């Protein structure tokens, strides 16, 4: 059988796939974990990345790493739960550049059932994981509309659509993220603003290591193996794998995709026994 070759123009385009050259991308919670991986992947894809994080020192360290590697990044301290702070930070950005991509990643976790979740715990999770996303989307949506469109990517979780034990408040917050994603995607179709979300299963981040050290001292390796085995694929996800999906969804190759919740879960949702 004769092998078909792609036209040179198509081959050249393929080698440049999933690029964000010259686009300004804001990543909240970009100082660690999945957020940090997204910052690094976007920067390597040509984006000008603006890292928003409550930890200024760590955010600046990540930005320095990116710049040292030849990328473009800067850090701004931001408390996503504060409407005033978020508005001020985005206005500062808008005075210098057009923000084309927003990745809502800043979030916290919580372990507890309905009965063991205090009102204070519930409110804290809501403030960061729901109101924080709302604050950042509302701060950026008008500018995106005025400049011909943009991309919003929200970090959700399989907890938002699957029943997970002892994740009452966290599941509530991520379910809200999924619902907000659908709503924004629907309302801003004509404004050429795409909005999707990503729902990871358990991903190996410093949070996991800290959780095991805090709750299972001396048994970290045993518990890590147990948590990894809970994924049908037999391991936890890695931050760079989530970042790769984020890059695709924010690139022009995903221009026909909006209003979608993408699971990246090692088969957790559909393949559990």
Question: 142-168: per-residue pLDDT in tens?
Answer: 999 999 999 999 999 998 998 888 999
Does position 79 have pLDDT exceeding 90, yes or no? yes
Q: Which helix (H) or strand (E) holds 50?
A: strand 48-53
C-alpha span between 174 and 79 (Å, rounded): 19
Q: Token pair for residue 256?
A: 């026909």
- CB distance 203 to 236 below 8 Å: yes
Given pLDDT bands bounded at 50, 70 and 90, which one contains residue 77?
Answer: very high
Compute the mean pLDDT over every residue in the chain, rounded to the nearest whole number. Answer: 92
Tell me which of 18 and 181 has the higher pLDDT: 181
In sequence order, the β-bridge partners of residue 75 are 51
Give the H/E segment covering residue 120: helix 119-126
- CB of 189 closer than 8 Å to CB of 258: yes
The reported pLDDT for the residue numbered 16 is 66
Confidence of residue 114 (pLDDT cuts 50, 70, 90): very high
pTM for the model stands at 0.91
Tokens of 167: 């994740």
d(CA 129, CA 31): 16
- Tens digits of residue pLDDT in 32-76: 999 999 999 999 999 999 999 999 999 999 999 999 999 999 999
Q: Which residue has the tokens 């969804």?
A: 249
The residue annotated as part of the active site, out of 170, 188, 216, 262, is 170
pLDDT at 14 over 80: no
pLDDT over 90 (residue 83): yes
- Give residue 7's pLDDT band: very low, low, confident or very high (50, 70, 90): low
Report the C-alpha gap between 110 and 153 in whole angstroms: 22
User: How does residue 205 score in pLDDT terms, banded at 50, 70 and 90?
Assistant: confident
Residue 38 host element (H or E): helix 33-44
Between 29-33, 192-196, 200-204, 207-211, the lowest mean confidence (pLDDT) is in 207-211
Give the whole-angstrom CA distance, residue 261 versus residue 65.
31
Beta carbons of 148 and 127 less than 8 angstroms apart: no
Which alpha helices (H) appear in 69-205, and where do they start and end?
83-94, 119-126, 132-146, 168-187
DSSP state of 253: G
Are residues 75 and 59 in contact, defined by beta-carbon separation less than 8 angstroms?
Answer: yes
Q: Where are the beta strands (DSSP E) in 98-244?
A: 99-104, 150-155, 193-200
Active site residue 170: yes
């Amino acid at each position: 059988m004769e092998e078909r070759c792609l036209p040179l123009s198509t081959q050249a385009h393929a080698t440049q796939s999933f690029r964000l050259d010259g686009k300004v991308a804001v990543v909240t919670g970009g100082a660690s974990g999945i957020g940090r991986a997204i910052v690094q992947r976007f920067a390597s894809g040509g984006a000008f990345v603006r890292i928003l994080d409550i930890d200024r020192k760590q955010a600046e360290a990540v930005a320095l790493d990116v710049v040292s590697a030849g990328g473009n990044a800067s850090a701004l301290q931001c408390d996503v739960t504060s409407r005033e702070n978020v508005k001020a930070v985005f206005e500062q950005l808008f005075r210098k550049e057009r923000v084309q991509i927003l990745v809502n990643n800043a979030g916290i976790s919580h372990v507890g059932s309905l009965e063991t979740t205090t009102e204070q715990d519930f409110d804290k999770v809501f403030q960061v994981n729901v109101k924080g996303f709302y604050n950042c989307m509302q701060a950026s949506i008008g500018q995106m509309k005025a400049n011909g469109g943009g991309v919003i990517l929200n970090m959700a979780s399989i907890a938002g659509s699957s029943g997970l034990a002892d994740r009452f408040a966290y599941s509530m917050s991520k379910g809200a993220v999924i619902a907000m994603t659908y709503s924004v995607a629907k309302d801003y179709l004509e404004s050429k603003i795409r909005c999707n979300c990503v729902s990871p299963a358990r991903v190996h981040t410093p949070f996991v290591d800290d959780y095991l050290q805090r709750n299972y001292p001396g048994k970290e390796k045993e518990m890590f193996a147990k948590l990894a085995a809970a994924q049908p694929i037999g391991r936890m996800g890695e931050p760079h794998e989530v970042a790769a999906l984020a890059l695709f969804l924010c690139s022009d190759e995903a221009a026909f995709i909006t209003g979608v919740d993408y699971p990246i879960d090692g088969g957790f949702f559909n393949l559990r026994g």
